Amino acid sequence: MTDILILIGAESDTAEMVGECLIDEFERLGLGAEMIEGSDADGDDLAGRDVVLLCTATHGMGELPSNIQPLADALEDGRPDFSSLHYGVIALGDQMYRETFCDGGRIMDKLFAELGAKRVGERLEIDACTQPLPDEEAVK
């Protein structure tokens, strides 16, 4: 059974709502999944997983949400070897901020790639402000 960790970066409930919907979908497919907030994760949590699915919003003017920023800082400083880790990215943003749209997901995508993790598929970028059901878009 694949062990999937859904890592949430959020200032509001949207990323968490997407994560909960994905947990249901993974379970329906017979896959094991767990969701945790970025503030509850560390490099050891990530390195011991088969797959990490990053589901993060963008805060302010293109920054990471406050609950995942400390993890990103720790990973940047510690530079763990993620070469055996596979990951995916669901980036949530608001297209009104054209210059920084989905930058939270882009920042984490770049960091995981720099640490040697292998991305599965393309990064999914969702305009969480105009897409009425971003969770349904993520399941597709």
Instruction: Report yes or no: 39 and 72 within 8 Å, Cβ to Cβ.
Output: no
Q: CB neighbours of 60 closer than 8 A, spacing ≥ 6?
A: none
Structure tokens at 55: 């589901």
* In the chain, % of residues over pLDDT 70: 89
Q: What is the largest CA-CA distance in the chain?
A: 40
User: pLDDT tens-digit profile of 120-130?
Assistant: 999 989 886 66
Instruction: Report yes or no: 39 and 65 within 8 Å, Cβ to Cβ.
Output: no
Q: What is the pLDDT of residue 138?
A: 55
**pTM, two decimal places:** 0.87
Instruction: Report yes or no: 66 and 105 within 8 Å, Cβ to Cβ.
Output: no
Q: How far apart are CA 112 and CA 54, in angstroms?
A: 10
- What structural domains and CATH numbers belong to the chain? 1-31+44-94+118-131 (3.40.50.360)
User: pLDDT tens-digit profile of 12-62?
Assistant: 788 888 888 889 889 998 998 999 988 888 887 787 788 999 999 888 888
